Amino acid sequence: RRSRMTVPKFREAKGRRKLAMLTAYDEPLARLFDSGGVDAILVGDTLGMVVQGKSTTLPVTLDEIIYHAEIVARATRRALVVADLPFMSYQVGPKDALRSAGRILKESGAAAVKLEGGREQSATIRAIADAGIPVMGHVGLRPQAVHALGGMSRIQRESTGLKRDALAAQEAGAFAVVLELIPQDLAAEITASLEIPTIGIGAGPECDGQVLVGPDMLGLTGFRPKFLKQYVDLATIVEDAAGRYVADVQSGNFPTDEHSHD
């Protein structure tokens, strides 16, 4: 693909081919995931955990998401760039949410936003979509509701409610919906019942697409839930490189004449 992935093309992929999405927050990984061919990059509020080292996503601010989304949008050529609306940037109500979503598009260059919720966020999804801002829903495990849900690793099994949430997101105008940590049969059922793509994480193979946290998939974070496939162990590679550099500096093996100027 030469031209940039658009929201209509993303939607039209449903039933034709699977969509691959990763999260990224900085220039190097965004650029490399983009040239590696991902369809979309999410500037997730996992920023708080993966980049800032915090224990939840709750402290992430709208300004921080905009800062990172601007970097990611600039670093990419082909991927659709989606940015998360962080905690408390949309929960107060549709007007507040629309202002936050508008700031993301104006100030970062991302093409779409994502928020957590289905039924209870219907009016908000509608307000954002009606303004011409593509919005993705996110149902199942919702990390911004960590304290209400009692953790971030519990499989969400309330099938009737989850089906209603996904349908509500679609009816309100979402162009896609993330399904996080739900049984694979339920994800398959939801996927078959919707016209918009489902993007799964811990939701089995029947979703229309998949999303993983980029640094998790690269083995940088040490987070290894059952749903993750770790494609490379970068932690070991980076640690080893740092250790060899330290040893070389200490022993005088680096720098040598090769790295020096006359």
Q: Is 180 in the site for Na ion (CB under 5 A)?
A: no
Q: Is 84 in the site for Na ion (CB under 5 A)?
A: yes
Residue (87 or 98) nearer to ligand KIV, CB: 87
Phi, psi angle pair for 41, to nearest 5°: -120, 130
Residue 239 bears catalytic tag: no
Residues in the chain: 262
Kindly indicate which of the ranges 28-36, 78-86, 186-194, 202-210 contains the residues binding Na ion, using the contact rule CB under 5 A.
78-86
Residue (144 or 170) nearer to Na ion, CB: 144
Annotation-wise, does 116 bind a ligand? yes
Judged by CB under 6 A, the chain residues 130 through 189 that form the site for ligand KIV are: 178
Find all residues with CB under 8 Å of 135, minimum gap 6, and list them.
101, 112, 113, 114, 115, 125, 128, 129, 173, 174, 175
Cα 57 from Cα 94, distance rounded (Å): 21
Q: Is 118 in the site for ligand KIV (CB under 6 A)?
A: no
Annotation-wise, does 84 bind a ligand? yes
| Minimum CB–partner distance for residue 145 and Na ion (Å) | 11
Strands (E), the chain: 19-23, 40-43, 80-84, 112-114, 135-140, 176-180, 198-201, 209-212
Residue (169 or 178) nearer to ligand KIV, CB: 178
| Minimum CB–partner distance for residue 21 and ligand KIV (Å) | 8
Judged by CB under 5 A, the chain residues 18 through 57 that form the site for Na ion are: 44-45
Kindly indicate which of the ranges 38-46, 63-71, 88-96, 121-129 contains the residues binding ligand KIV, using the contact rule CB under 6 A.
38-46
| Minimum CB–partner distance for residue 3 and ligand KIV (Å) | 25
Q: Is 44 in the site for ligand KIV (CB under 6 A)?
A: yes
> Which residue in 195, 206, 204 sits closest to 13, CA to CA?
195
Residue choice 10, 22, 23, 168 for contact with ligand KIV (CB under 6 A): 23
Residue 101: name its binding partner from Na ion, ligand KIV, none (Cβ under 5 to 8 Å by kind).
none
Q: Is 213 in the site for ligand KIV (CB under 6 A)?
A: yes
Q: Is 45 in the site for ligand KIV (CB under 6 A)?
A: yes
Cα 209 from Cα 51, distance rounded (Å): 25
Q: Is 97 in the site for ligand KIV (CB under 6 A)?
A: no
Q: How far apart are the first and last CA of the chain?
A: 47
Residue 109 structure tokens: 């260059």
Residue 106 structure tokens: 């104006």
Q: Cα 186 vs. chain centroid, distance in angstroms?
A: 21
Residue 235 structure tokens: 């932690």
Annotation-wise, does 248 bind a ligand? no
Q: Which amino acid type is present at position 73? A: A
> Which residue in 121, 120, 183, 184 sits closest to 156, CA to CA?
183
For ligand KIV, the binding residues (CB under 6 A) are 23, 42, 44-46, 84, 178, 201, 211, 213
Residues with active-site annotation: 180
